[in-house]
Amino acid sequence: MEIRADSTVDMGVDLTGLALANPVMTASGTFGYGVESKDLVDLAELGAVVTKGLSPVPKEGNRAPRIWEAQAGVINSIGLENPGVDYFCEEYLPVLRSYDTRVVVNFFGQTEQDYVVCAATLDAADGVDALEMNLSCPNVQAGGLQFGQDPSMAGRLVAACRRATSKPLWAKLSLVGPVVEVARACVDAGADVLCLGNTIPAMAIDPRTRRPRLGALTGGLSGPAIHPVAVRAVFVVHRAELGVPLVGIGGIRTGLDAAEFLLAGASAVQVGTQTLVEPNACIRIRDELRAYCIEQKVTSVGQLRGACRLDGDA
C-alpha cells in the first residue's frame, strides 16, 4: 500500500488519560528496556516502549533451552529473567527518559506484596507513564494458581496495586480461562486499560528423543499462530462494554493484522514476536495501518475501534 503524502490521518489514541502519538507499541519481553535498541530504532516513533517485566528483586531465568520455534509461532520459557525494578529505575529509566517516547513499565510478582512493591516503586519513578501488570504469574500463596485465572484473585491484586499508584494502571490478561469475568473484575478493581493478552501455554516434544524441547518443559506460544485467538478475546471483552480501552496483543506482523484488533474493539496494539525478528516492526506496522486508514477513508485511527461489521450493520 502506498502512503499518499497529502493524506492526513490522526493516528493519536487516548488510553484513559495517556495520549499516544500512534497506537503501535512494543510488547513486553521483546524490546528489553528500550535503551538497547536506541541505535537501531527511533524510539520517538513508537506509540510507547513497553518494557520487559520487572520484579521487586532480580530474577534468574529458566534452564536452557529456552526457545523453540513452532509452526507460525515461537514457544519461549525465558522465566521472566530481569534485573529487578530498582535496577531498572536507576540504570535504564534515566536513559529512556532522555528520549521522546512514552514509557509503559511491565511488572509481576509471586505474591500480592511483590506486585504492590513494584507498583509503589514505579509510581514514584519519574518518567514512567503507565504501569502494566502481568497477571499470568503463579500465586505462590494460592498453590501456584495464576492470579489471572481467577476473577476474585485478579480483582484483589488489581485493587492492591490501584491503592499503590495514581498512574495509569494496565492489566495484561491471559487469553485462556474466564477472560470476560477476569476482565470485569480488573476493571471493577480500578484497572484503567486491559491488555489482551499474554502468550498461550504450550509444549513441544522431540519425537525422536522423546524429550521436551524446552528446559522448563512447557512455555508460552507467541507469534502469528495466536493472532486469531487474541482477536477473539478482544472482541468478546469489547462486547462486554466494560468502559475501558483495550490493547490487542498477539501475532501482529502487518498493519492489517493490527487493524483486525482495532476492528474487534482495541484502541491500540502491541507487537511482540515480530519485534524480535524486525527491530523496527512497530514503525512499519504503524505506516501500514495509516495506509489502511486512507484506503478505508477514515481520518482518525480511533474510528476503527470496534468497527467490525456484524449482522444488521450497513
Partner 1 sequence: MVEFFDATVETVEHVTGDLYLLRLRDCEALASSQPGQFAMLRPRSWQVDPVLARPFSIFRTSGDRVDFLIRTVGRGTDSLVRCNAGERIDVLGPVGTAFPSPSHGPTVLVAGGVGLAPIGLWIDRADDGMRADATLIYGARTADDLVFLDELSQRVAVVVTTEDGSFGRKGLVTDEMVSLLDGCAEVLTCGPTRMMAHVARLAGEARVSCHVSLEARMACGRGICLGCAVPGVAGPLLVCRDGPVLPAGHVDWEQVLV
Which residue numbers are catalytic?
137
Q: Where does this chain bind partner 1 (CB under 8 A)?
A: 29-32, 36-37, 39-40, 60-61, 63-69, 71-74, 76, 78, 81, 223-224, 253, 273, 276-280
Our CB check for partner 1 shows the closer of 16 and 280 to be 280
Q: To the nearest whole angstrom, how small is the minimum distance from the Cβ of residue 244 to partner 1?
A: 30
Q: To the nearest whole angstrom, how small is the minimum distance from the Cβ of residue 273 to partner 1?
A: 6
Our CB check for partner 1 shows the closer of 71 and 166 to be 71
What string of DSSP letters covers the chain?
Answer: -PPPTT---B--EEETTEEESSSEEEPTTSSTTSGGGTTTS-GGGSSBEEPPPB-SS-B--PPSP-EEEETTEEEE-----B--HHHIIIIIHHHHHTSSS-EEEEE--SSHHHHHHHHHHHHHSTT--EEEEE--SB-GGGTT-BGGGSHHHHHHHHHHHHHH--S-EEEEE-SSSSHHHHHHHHHHTT-SEEEE--PEEE--EETTTTEESSTTS-EEEESGGGHHHHHHHHHHHHHTT-SS-EEEES---SHHHHHHHHHHT-SEEEE-HHHHHSTTHHHHHHHHHHHHHHHTT-SBGGGGTT----TT--
Our CB check for partner 1 shows the closer of 21 and 72 to be 72
Our CB check for partner 1 shows the closer of 68 and 292 to be 68
Q: To the nearest whole angstrom, how small is the minimum distance from the Cβ of residue 36 to partner 1?
A: 6
Our CB check for partner 1 shows the closer of 227 and 238 to be 227
Q: To the nearest whole angstrom, how small is the minimum distance from the Cβ of residue 111 to partner 1?
A: 23
Question: How far is it, in rounded angstroms, from Cα 289 to Cα 308?
Answer: 16
Q: To the nearest whole angstrom, how small is the minimum distance from the Cβ of residue 25 to partner 1?
A: 15
